[in-house]
Structure 1
Amino acid sequence: MARLEELKQHLTPGKVYRRADLTRWTTSVDRDLRKLLDAGELTKLSGGVYLRPKTTAFGRAPANDHDLVEAFLKDKRFLMLTPNAYNALGVGATQLYNETVVYNRKRHGRFKLGNRLYDFRMKPEFPAVATKEFLLVDLVNNLKRLAEDETQVLERVRTEARKLDQDALRQALKTMAACARRSSSETSLPT
């Protein structure tokens, strides 16, 4: 039991771990994982992805989204956003969505990690940070998936597009055009 206690000493509350991360502290990973799961010291979030729970005044805190997605993908190159970000663009988008979109280069599909559903979309290119210009182009590309009045939103997109940094907007269009070549269902920014 002393080895298991020693392993627990290395696990930080609130941190996400991959099974492979634990191999540096134990030679019996699967046996020790089972014991830690049974004792409630770890929570399984997905195949091979675990959380050392952190208790707050409100109960157990969920895993940090960024850390969870990074562990799941085994990659730091991704962009997470929620369609709620479109609401701040001033184009009439008002709906609230309970989903997180993850642009990445490895996985495609909807995956449940812990208690949250993530929509992973494989894209060859995407920015490190979602700029206003990128969000505007992304909104147009995803408009059919949203519960918004398309005609009204597209009219306001035209107006807002003129107010943005035109070079940054062209770059966002170029980036998304590279992605659109792989998907004929995406549209272009209205002129």
Structure 2
Amino acid sequence: MDRSEKNVEEKLEPGKVYRREDLVCDLVFTDHRIRQLVAQGSLEKITQGLYHYRGPSPRNYSPLTSKSLLEGFLGMGDFLLLPWQEYLSLGLNLTPKFDMHLVYNRKRHGIFRLGEVTFDVRRRSRYPTQITPEFLLVDLLNNMDFFTEDTSRIQRDIRALIHKFDGHALLKMAQDYGKVSTYKYISSWLTEMQTMLSVRSFKSDELSAAFFGNFHKSAEQPTHD
């Protein structure tokens, strides 16, 4: 390897994923040099035209992460990765039909096998910058067909949990990212919950007034010798 090739390799960042066209065009690599680095183990071929630079030597190899993999594949860092296991944090028992991770982005669409992981990449014009419990609940309602459980059961289980969420944040997430049906479900459930809370509060106040009203009346009655 001559000095120019060494200088080019020094520009590579351990752990980062590169596309072939980036290596050949931007870094002035040759396909021959790429094959050499793959044979040495410094460069790992993920799929056709996509490579993970592990590092210059085995002592300081950097592992491949889903974030770096998707950044290299999509050619940008603007995406939202949503492993299906995230839905389980809501406290529901769910079984996916396929072992895939959802990826929302503004560029590509399709199902891709990258290394050992399958990604369901979906093009969306809008998605949040981070995952919150309220977004997860909205997204679950959007994607109930992703799971083997009956949709009516999933809806019933979510309805039973809705009181644990921030109602304003949940409704905002449904407005911004939910399907029309998702927004209708959440809006009606929140209205139903508020109605039930109002009725309970009214009954509590009514009973309290009746009790304390009778108590005061008894206390005001004159005593007889």
TM-score (norm 2): 0.68
Residue 95 of structure 2 aligns to which amino acid in structure 1?
Answer: Q
8 Å CA contact 1:84–1:95 kept in 2: the answer is no
SS in 2 for 1:125: coil
- 1:128 is aligned to 129
8 Å CA contact 1:89–1:136 kept in 2: the answer is yes
Residue 116 of structure 1 aligns to which amino acid in structure 2?
Answer: V
8 Å CA contact 1:93–1:153 kept in 2: the answer is no
Alignment of 1:3-14 (within 5 A): 3-14=4-15
* Distance (Å, rounded) in 1 between the aligned partners of 2:110 and 2:27: 33
Greater helix content: 2
SS in 1 for 2:143: helix
Structure 1 position 41 matched with structure 2 position 35: no
Residue 61 and residue 100 in structure 1: after superposition, are their counterparts in 2 closer, same or farther (change >3 A)?
A: farther
Q: Deviations over 1:120-172 (max 9, x none)?
A: 01111110111111100111111122022433321121122232112211121
Residue 25 and residue 145 in structure 1: after superposition, are their counterparts in 2 closer, same or farther (change >3 A)?
A: closer
Q: Deviations over 1:88-139 (max 9, x none)?
A: 112x324366321101111111012222211101111110111111100111
- 2:77 is aligned to 76
Alignment of 1:53-92 (within 5 A): 53=54, 62-90=63-91, 92=92
SS in 2 for 1:76: coil
Q: 1:188 aligns with which of 182, 187, 191?
A: 182
Greater strand content: 1
- For these two proteins, the number of residue pairs brought into alignment is 180
Alignment of 1:12-51 (within 5 A): 12-22=13-23, 23-26=25-28, 28-51=29-52
Residue 67 of structure 1 aligns to which amino acid in structure 2?
Answer: S
Structure 1 unaligned blocks of 5 or more: 182-186
Alignment of 1:110-121 (within 5 A): 110-121=111-122
Alignment of 1:154-165 (within 5 A): 154-165=155-166
SS in 2 for 1:156: helix
Residue 137 of structure 2 aligns to which amino acid in structure 1?
Answer: L
* Distance (Å, rounded) in 1 between the aligned partners of 2:26 and 2:139: 41
Residue 95 of structure 1 aligns to which amino acid in structure 2?
Answer: T
8 Å CA contact 2:16–2:53 kept in 1: the answer is yes
- 1:171 is aligned to 172
* Distance (Å, rounded) in 2 between the aligned partners of 1:168 and 1:46: 40
| 1:41 Cα deviation after fit | 2.5
SS in 2 for 1:188: helix
| 1:24 Cα deviation after fit | 4.5
* Distance (Å, rounded) in 2 between the aligned partners of 1:166 and 1:100: 27
SS in 2 for 1:121: strand
Residue 112 and residue 16 in structure 1: after superposition, are their counterparts in 2 closer, same or farther (change >3 A)?
A: same
Taking every aligned residue pair, what percent have the same amino acid on both sides? 34
* Distance (Å, rounded) in 1 between the aligned partners of 2:107 and 2:160: 35
- 1:93 is aligned to 93
SS in 2 for 1:134: helix
Runs of 4+ in 1 over 6 A off after TM superposition: none
* Distance (Å, rounded) in 1 between the aligned partners of 2:139 and 2:58: 36
